[in-house]
A and B are shown apart, each in its own frame.
Chain A
Amino acid sequence: MPQPESTGLQDRTADDQYAGSVRAGLDALDTPVNSAQGSLLRRIVGKVLPPIAAIVLLVLVWQLLWAAAFWPEFKLPAPVDVSSQIWQLVTTGKIIELFWVSVHRAVIGFAISLLIAVPLGLAIANITVVRRGIGPLVSGLQSLPSVAWVPAAILWFGLNDRAIYWVVLLGAVPSIANGLVSGLDQVPPILPRVGKALGAGRLGGIRYILLPAALPGFLGGLKQGWAFSWRSLMAAELIATSPDLGEGLGQYLHNGMSLSDISMVFAGVLLIFVVGVGIELLVFRPLENSVLRARGLTRAT
């Protein structure tokens, strides 16, 4: 072996020790230092304060506009009227029924979409014929507003839950499938090659390498899929109203319109918004953050 000129045993151990300490020093220097973070309280305040300030500002402007009476009362309600409308829903317990009807539909619709979209996305990403055949179709469906399916769904299924689920599926499936496909497409080609060199078979490669590698893109698709299924559901509920269907947030909004009660309409919009944002913040944001942080892809949030 090529060695420095001195090859005596003692010199060599000394050399090795020296090389070892150089290596240890390099390791110590190279290890990234975690930036010190402020106290927990401070971080929470820093995160929560800006959105609260924005909301307060918004309500303030609203109140001013209402007080200035630019528009008649039946067009722009007072913030107080809207909040009392919501408070009434809370005290009568009706809000629970509204939330339950809509949210459980959205969750079931989303779950079914997931079951359909994952195999579909895998097939599009991995099989060339499928990609060429139905890839563009699925992408196209994503830009077709799923509310356009409401009339057809009502004619096919009648005014019932099946019609509503149909609309939700057509909204969410393309988004989730597309998210999975783009997630898989963005996997660096070196990773499957490494997997193969490490002895991964076709299935092992998908399970241990491709799917985990595609997770961030897939999560983005899930998030978008949830947004689409929630939107589609509201559109469907708004149009397909019937006593048989139970009263969800969409129907509540529809009733507000029928009663020409603008504060009820505003309350409906607000509640729909709160649920959409709430699920995103409580479910998808933490999920995404933990995945990204584990991979060192986290951005400042």
Chain B
Amino acid sequence: MTATVEAGETTITSGTEVRPVRFHQVGKAFGHGQKAVVALDQVDLDVYAGEFVCLLGASGCGKTTLLNLVAGLDQPTSGRIELSSSRPAVVFQEPALMPWLTAAGNVELPLRMAGVPKAARRAKAAELLELVRLAGLGDKRPHELSGGMRQRVALARALASTTDNTGSGAGKPSLLLMDEPFSALDAITRDVLQGELLRIWRATGTAILFVTHDVREAVRLGQRVVLLSSRPGRVVRQWDVDDLSGAGETDAVDEINAELRKVISSHAAA
């Protein structure tokens, strides 16, 4: 039931398809000389248009680093990242909404910085708030919203950042980067938001690169799960988990869990 693809040969589909992100032997080290910490080492990874990929790994595996590289918040030390999407939308672990802006103001912020005229901004923000089912709550301040609502505003804001008025992103596939976005939420809110995210993914057709340390979450959400090793982060294995249900899903979770444990325990010996 679980198709396994070994690292290095990512030939799930034919090569002609559009890929918003391609990693070419990407490496990232922090610091110099002997004290340098290698966060990522020779990572090869492609995300296809509209694909939902979950990056899985224990702490210290460079998941967040990898996402920062794609988002352009950091530069790789070796290799290169080929980005053919519009500006990646990023959702962090914390909503990090601007406390001086309303929910709608937060969603409008990236549009404002891109110079989108006011009326268009308003309309776009209303549309995105509708998408995350927060229509009518645009006037609320972040502190008046619950954690789950804040994270939905953050999602709407991230989606707004992919559209700019220059039109340079037009026609390109969109890409959503999410860094453990639900890990700070309580279980039932997380469950609801996972469902919402799947709905939004289907509605928008965006590619998603989703970082998590929760195997169950990765299997539930992703079409493909990529396991990273820790220090240095390398792609260990990939699983195709699309359209799994019932027993298949449980099996996949067990298998990936076992592999993750193996990766973690290998560090105890070192």
Contacts and interface: CB of A to CB of B under 8 A. Distances in A.
Interface of A: 1-5, 7, 16, 19-20, 22-23, 26-27, 30-32, 188, 190-191, 193-201, 204, 208-209, 212-213, 215, 291, 294-297
B268 interface: no
Nearest to A203: B113
Given A190-B96, A191-B98, A198-B113, A7 B146 contact: no
A194 B96 contact: yes
Given A26-B148, A30-B146, A198 B192 contact: no
Contacts of B92: 190, 193-194, 197
Interface residues of B, number: 51
Contacts of B246: 5
15 contacts: A1-B223, A2-B244, A16-B199, A30-B149, A31-B145, A31-B146, A190-B96, A193-B73, A196-B72, A198-B109, A198-B110, A208-B109, A295-B99, A296-B144, A297-B99
Given A197-B73, A198-B157, A215-B100, 4 more contacts: A19-B192, A23-B195, A31-B144, A195-B113
A195 B110 CA distance: 8
Contacts of B195: 19, 23
Majority-rule SS of A interface residues: helix
Nearest to B97: A194
Interface string B126-166: 00000001000000011111111100000001100100100
Interface string B109-135: 110111000000000000000000100
B81 to A, nearest CB: 15
Contacts of B157: 198
B79 to A, nearest CB: 22
B242 interface: yes
A30 B161 contact: no
